[in-house]
Amino acid sequence: MGRYLLSLQRFWATALAGQLEYQANMLIDLLAMVGSLAGSIFVLSLFFGQGRELGGWSWEAALVVQGIYTFLDGVSSTWLRPNLSAIVTHVREGTLDFVLLKPIDSQFWVSLRIMAPAGLPEMGLGLVLIVWAASRAGASFSLGTLLVAVLMLCVGGVILYALWFVIAATSIWFVKTWNATEVLRAVLASGRFPVSAYPPTLRLVFTLVLPVAFLTTVPAEVILGRAAMQMLVLGLFLAVIFFVGSRAFWLFALRYYTSASS
Amino acid sequence: MRVSGCPIWVDVVIEVEQLSKTYQVADKTPGFVGTLNHFFRRKTHDVQAVSHVSFTIEPGEMVGFLGANGAGKTTTLKMLCGLIHPSAGMVHVAGYVPQRRQAAFLKQITLVMGQKQQLIWDLPPLDSLSVNAAVYGIGEKEARYRINELAEMLEIGEELTRPVRKLSLGQRMKAELLAALLHRPSVLFLDEPTLGLDVNAQARVRRFLAEYNRQTGATVLLTSHYMADITALCSRVLLIDQGELIHDGGLDELAASLSPFRQVRLELNRSASPEDFVGYGELEALDDRAVRLLVSRSELTVVVARLLANFDVLDLEVNDPPIDELIGSLFRKGRVV
């Protein structure tokens, strides 16, 4: 375990150092992040301004969903996007060989090797938005709700990770999977709004097929103290299934890895 | 024989039996119609990359692995590392089944590829080395000691603190070797480690590998297109052609198995004409009094006796044709006849 923690520390330290080599790039990343956040809040305010409701959610309550979405988007920019798109490069250039020959879990390596700090402020802003909007919406924070909320955020993160990881892992056969991850991102963008804002059929899809509901809506419901117990259990169950599934899929895919020829 | 997957001391470090690998390759005709056909009705055929290869390697041996491009060298090497699952046959390396990729196995081997690099491009090699040290569970002090030791052998120093992208190819290869050997592997798989290096850098890498082998007793399996690498380092070679192992033995025996002829050089007292040598073998060159003949191995003693009897010979020398010429002609033909 200590070896994994130390490895993780070195992974991120070198990733950070590598990115700091390019100052201008770093600055542009930060600017892009600020722009995207301002844009999404603006869109949200267009859709339903103060006093209006969306699928039974008040403006403030919906802002909690937006906050969680922002937070998760920050998590994706920090870890998921850079790491999982690197899998495609690893496969195309055959450098996955080096990862597979290290005495460390290969899924751990390809999932956590890189950290892009440009996503961290977005995570921070997401958290600020969550706390601010939740207190405006009249949520009461107890230690219990906080713990469950963190747990459900983790559930959302794990589901998002597993979906993304499986798509990235298919690059072992298809090599190019950029397009598939774009489709996934578009679907996940639907997590900006509470699930109840969508028509019933989509709601079902977002709960069971592509569990977008568990990424943002359910954690928001926990924070706002209106979560249904069965949704929490279902979310935990799905997270375990998705994670175990992603792991099995990776091990299965590696059997077909032929390693780009030299 | 030992139990598979069990790391016990063995007198055979690499054992390969009837190893085969078949790939499915898509057929595609060029042009738009070909592309459409390829998209809708994909046809594939099987390519036998490696076919029924068997050999064993003892600890501490340095073995050269020869073959033309696409002969199956790299595929075999990758099956030995556990990167590719064999289609059939058995592999054991250091007592393990490679494709299981157990941590204890991976700590004993390393793979260096001349065309791929594991060092982080934007950072000095020392940063990549610190990642490797953590991953292999090597303590900080021990890592520093090993880095110094290897750096001295490789003759690199301040290059380790310069970003990899600013290093020359030769410097980068040395740093790659350092990164690949930090965990002190006992089995080294080297795939074209001197590729693209200039003659001096090649010689330095060669010297290092010989020294490393001598000091640590590590087993080395090396592929290279430069015959000089093989002749300098390996007394034993495996020659693979179209997926099949066609030679396993000493470098000197390779000449015998590749060429049924030996080269006879004569220096005569008087000048001779080509007609004089009809019936002795194939005349390779004739320059006034210097003669080069290719004589079949089985008739060599008879022919040499006749030459000495019939000509006024000042000097006579029997050689194998140069090994790199033989291999070169083999690679050009793409197939041994």
Give the three-state DSSP class for A86: helix
Looking at residue B20, what is its pLDDT? 94
Inter-chain CB proximity B120 and A18 less than 8 Å: yes
User: Own/partner pairs for B42-49, CB < 8 Å, 24+ apart?
Assistant: B46/B22, B47/B22, B47/B23, B48/B20, B48/B21, B48/B22, B48/B243, B49/B21, B49/B22, B49/B23, B49/B75, B49/B243
Q: B301 is in which domain, residue-wise?
A: 260-319
Partner-chain contact B128 A98, CB within 8 Å: no
Expressed as residue numbers, the domain containing A36 is: 2-255
Residues of A in contact with B109 (CB under 8 A): 101
Q: Are residues B184 and B131 in the same domain?
A: yes
pLDDT, mean of residues B284-301 = 86
CB contact under 8 A, B113 and A97: yes
According to the model, what pLDDT value does residue B287 have?
A: 85
Is A262 within a domain?
no
Q: Which pLDDT does position A48 carry in this prediction? A: 56
Instruction: Give the per-residue pLDDT at A262.
Output: 42
β-strands B43-57, B62-66: how paired?
A: unpaired
- Predicted local distance difference test score (pLDDT) of residue A155: 94
ipTM of the complex: 0.83
CB contact under 8 Å between B107 and A103, yes or no, is: yes
Question: What residues of A are in contact with residue B137 (Cβ under 8 Å)?
Answer: 3, 103
Tell me the CATH number at B191.
Answer: 3.40.50.300
Interface test with A, best of B23, B135, B191 (most A CBs within 10 A): B135
Lowest pLDDT segment from A11-20, A176-185, B38-47: A176-185
Q: Is B47 contained in some domain?
A: no
- For chain A, what percent of residues have pLDDT higher than 70? 92
In a domain? residue B48: no
Task: Confirm whether B41 is domain-assigned.
Answer: no
pLDDT for the residue B331: 65
- Residue A32 above 90 pLDDT? no
**Domain membership flag for residue A208:** yes
- The predicted pLDDT at position B176 comes to 95
Residue B272: its pLDDT value, please? 84
For residue B23, the model assigns a pLDDT of 84
Split into its structural domains, chain B has a count of: 2
Average pLDDT, chain A: 85
- Tell me which chain A residues have a C-beta less than 8 angstroms from the C-beta of B74: 261-262
Cβ within 8 Å, pair A104-B103: yes
Q: Give me the residues paired with residue B25 across strands.
A: B45
Does B41 score more than 80 pLDDT? Answer: no
More confident residue, A250 or A28: A250
Percent of chain B residues topping a pLDDT of 90 = 47
Query: Residue A32 and residue A41: Cα distance in Å, rounded?
Result: 15
Quote the distance between the C-alpha of residue B123 and its chain's center.
31
What value does the mean pLDDT take over residues B206-226? Answer: 92
pLDDT of residue B336: 44
Does the structure show a pLDDT above 70 at B328? no
Average confidence (pLDDT) over A234-240: 94
- Does pLDDT of B335 surpass 50? no
Residues B249, B301 share a domain: no
At residue B332, does pLDDT exceed 70? no
Residues 112-141 on B with a CB inside 8 Å of A are 113-118, 120-123, 127-128, 130-137
CATH classification at residue B284: 3.30.70.980
In this prediction, residue B228 carries a pLDDT of 83
